[in-house]
Structure 1
Amino acid sequence: MARIFITGSSDGLGLLAAKELIAGGHQVVLHARNEERKEATLAKIERAEDILIGDLSSIEETKALAGEVNKWGTFDAVIHNAGVYTAPSKDILMINVLAPYILTSLIQKPRRLIYLSSDMHLQGQPKLEYLGKDVERINYSDSKLHVLMLCKAVARKWKDVYANAVNPGWVPTKMGGSHAPDSLEKGYATQVWLATSNDEQARVSGRFFFHQKARQSHPEADNSLLQDRLLAICEAITGIVFPGYK
């Protein structure tokens, strides 16, 4: 039995992954943006260990959320599921990139880390020069490249952790829309598998998965110099040093 924390788990793929993990006998701590969403989530799920609150568009609330997570001790896995698509660039940057950076840096190191990226990261560009000042130039595809870069940096620096990224596909959730063509079940199955499986194929690090298969990713994601620049910029914006960066 594993203990798992999932961000953005009040609905969509995060909630579905939580239900699957709970059905498998695992202990799951969920996350909701505010009290209202927490109450709504309680009506959708049974046997969750807790639902922690924190608005990931706020640096301070994200820091506080990490503190609440740490009160539970060390988790076996953390799934960085939360993300936004149609939102102002500053929220896309904060929720899709800076929040995972903050939580990764501050939460006690788990054995496994899973980050949700997207096949749209292939259309993204690093644009690191814009992260601290011209954030309106950052789009969703860029942010999903950034979170993949973060994942690969973690895999490179934390050899005792399995850190991987997932493309869940274009699935029929609130974000994907009701006419999305990909399988909803397969959209969360890879996260569950990476968080709990002892399969040799799941006990790897620095990979980009789609439907439990490793896929090629944007070549810039593997550039260690760009990864380190991203970590430095995230540190400058948030005031938080990534453990192992320096």
Structure 2
Amino acid sequence: MARIFITGSSDGLGKMAAGLLVEQGHKVVLHARSDARAKEASKAVSGAESVVIGDLSSIAQTKDVASQVNALGDFDAIIHNAGVGYREPKRITDDGLPHVFAINTLAPFILTAMIKKPKRLVYLSSGMHHGAGTDLSDLTWSKRSWNGSAAYAESKFHDVLLAFAVARLFPNIYSNALEPGWVPTKMGGAGAPDDLDQAHRTQVWLATSTDPAALVSGKYFFHQRRRDPNPAANDVRKQAQLLEACEKLAGVKLG
């Protein structure tokens, strides 16, 4: 059985994935942004091993989450599930960053850079990344008028860039991205049309399955099937540009 850490696992798809993994007999460490949410997560996924706490909109707290995870020992897989959605207003964090970018893009970069590398990394993207702007010159929206939907789509494009960059730079790791579908979670909204029961299964499959189809790297999935990503995600120069920008903002290097 595997040991898995899941970010943003106090509700939504993260909680669903954690519950399924525990049901399958795996060891799971949860993540919540506050003590109150940690108590909710522990209650909701009673078989989880433990919960680490930290607000991923904060660079300092994200680094502390990485330290907490490292203190717990080795993991077989990490699922980068935490995220905020496309309805977000422009909220600036204490670090001076749009909180959509801070949580959806920078936090998974920091955690990937700082946590001891597992055997598998899974990054949650979105179908909206297919139509995202791929120009990385204004990652923090300091030169443009805010558009929450576009900011979200771009952040999910960044997640695919990150997954593919890790796959290229660390060939001994299975690093992949996926879209769960537009499903009726708190983020997706009650009217979302896709199948909620399928939404969390691909990340569990990529994190634990011995199916040869899951033992790949640098790929993009939807409902356990390969799907073509935004073609720009394969651009090595864009991957390098994103890593360089995140390294500068976070003060940590991917290595």
* Bin for the TM-score computed over the shorter chain: over 0.9
Moved more, 89-98 or 25-34: 89-98
Aligned counterparts of 1:110 and 1:185: Cα–Cα separation in 2: 27
2:208 maps to 1:200: no
% identical aligned pairs:
51
Q: Which residue of 2 aligns with 1:92?
A: 100
Q: CA deviation at 1:133?
A: 6.4
Q: CA deviation at 1:131?
A: 2.0
Q: Secondary structure at the match of 1:242?
A: coil
Q: In 1, are the aligned partners of 2:34 and 2:54 still within 8 Å (CA)?
A: yes
Q: Deviations over 1:130-151 (max 9, x none)?
A: 1256174761011100111011
> What is the root-mean-square deviation of aligned Cα atoms in Å?
1.3
Q: Equivalent residues in 2 for 1:208-223 (5 A)?
A: 208-223=220-235
Q: Deviations over 1:40-83 (max 9, x none)?
A: 22221211100110100000000000000001111000000000
Q: Deviations over 1:218-244 (max 9, x none)?
A: 11100001100110000111111110x
Aligned counterparts of 1:127 and 1:34: Cα–Cα separation in 2: 34
What are the ranges of 5 or more consecutive residues in structure 2 without an aligned counterpart?
92-97
2:248 maps to 1:236: yes
Q: Which residue of 2 aligns with 1:22?
A: 22
Q: Equivalent residues in 2 for 1:154-173 (5 A)?
A: 154-173=166-185
Q: Equivalent residues in 2 for 1:118-157 (5 A)?
A: 118-131=126-139, 134=142, 136=146, 139-157=151-169
What are the ranges of 5 or more consecutive residues in structure 1 without an aligned counterpart?
none
State the TM-score, normalized to the length of structure 1: 0.96
Q: Which residue of 1 aligns with 2:109?
A: 101
Q: How many residues align?
A: 243
Aligned counterparts of 1:219 and 1:43: Cα–Cα separation in 2: 41
Aligned counterparts of 1:192 and 1:164: Cα–Cα separation in 2: 12
Q: Which aligned segments of 4 or more residues in structure 1 are displaced greater than 2 angstroms?
A: 86-89, 135-138
